[in-house]
Amino acid sequence: MGRIVTGLILAIGWLLLLLIGPYSLFCLVITVGGAVALYEFLRMSSPEAEQKYIPLALLLGIFPLLAASLWGVTALNSSLFLALLILIIVTLVAYPALENGLLFAARLWFGIFYIGFCTAHLILLRSLPQGINWLLVLTAITVFSDSGAYYVGRALGKTKLYPALSPGKTRAGAVGGILGGMLGGLLVAAILFEGANFFIVALLGLVLSVIGILGDLIESLIKRVSGVKDSGQILPGHGGLLDRCDSLLLTAPVLYYVLFWGHAALLT
């Protein structure tokens, strides 16, 4: 029951944020959410001796989110380079006290890039023309893909997709998730976009569903290496925020750059 209630609250809150929330509130929520997800990653992946550097990593991880909120895509690369430069300086200063300086820098940089930089693309999507509509399409693809994977996997799943990382995922579930994502994208695009190229939208749903599966597997890898079941406990019945948003970390950037470079093709 707790899982269902939490899911409903998240779904309603997300839809309200998209449909009636101002841009500034959206940016604030995504920035805070990105910081929480980054904190979960750092807590489960960093050894005890490096936990004291988490506040610094959080600050650096927020750079891309703030840049996307205030200045858009033009400032995103600059913010990422600034974060890298500061991380290099910190690594050199702290090196004598670190067990493995290179691993320390790589771990923090992965978190900053994978969570901070990738999450910032939700803000960039929101700033696009019809960005809210495209976020709704992305949401539909994600939800339908998750649902398709779950129900088809339970009904038909026998062969494991990648047992070394995620014993619960099956090949049948993956196919169900891909088909579900395509269906969800088509349904919402048909409602929101008049004259959309449905072949391209279906193809987009396929690609994003596959990318979403990769996002799930990457987080499974992180948790397995870290020896934890969930990234956190902030969401009753769901684990951590990173557990719920793992697929979006990859699908949001992919969708943004597809729209940035080929938006017209999707609507004609």
**pLDDT per residue as tens digits for the range 94-115:** 888 888 889 999 999 999 999 9
**How far apart are the C-alpha atoms of 86 and 88, rounded to whole Å?**
5
**How far apart are the C-alpha atoms of 215 and 247, rounded to whole Å?**
4
Q: Considering the chain, what is the average pLDDT of its residues?
A: 91
Stated pTM of the model: 0.94
**How far apart are the C-alpha atoms of 126 and 256, rounded to whole Å?**
10
Residue 164 confidence class, pLDDT cut points 50, 70, 90: confident
Distance of CA 232 to the CA centre of its chain: 16
Contact (CB, 8 A) for 162 and 213:
no
In this predicted structure, which of 61-70, 180-189, 235-244 has the lowest mean pLDDT?
A: 235-244
Question: Of residues 7 and 136, which shows the higher confidence score?
Answer: 136
Cα-atom radius of gyration of the chain, to the nearest Å? 19
**How far apart are the C-alpha atoms of 27 and 34, rounded to whole Å?**
10
Task: Look at residue 167 and give its three-state secondary structure.
Answer: strand
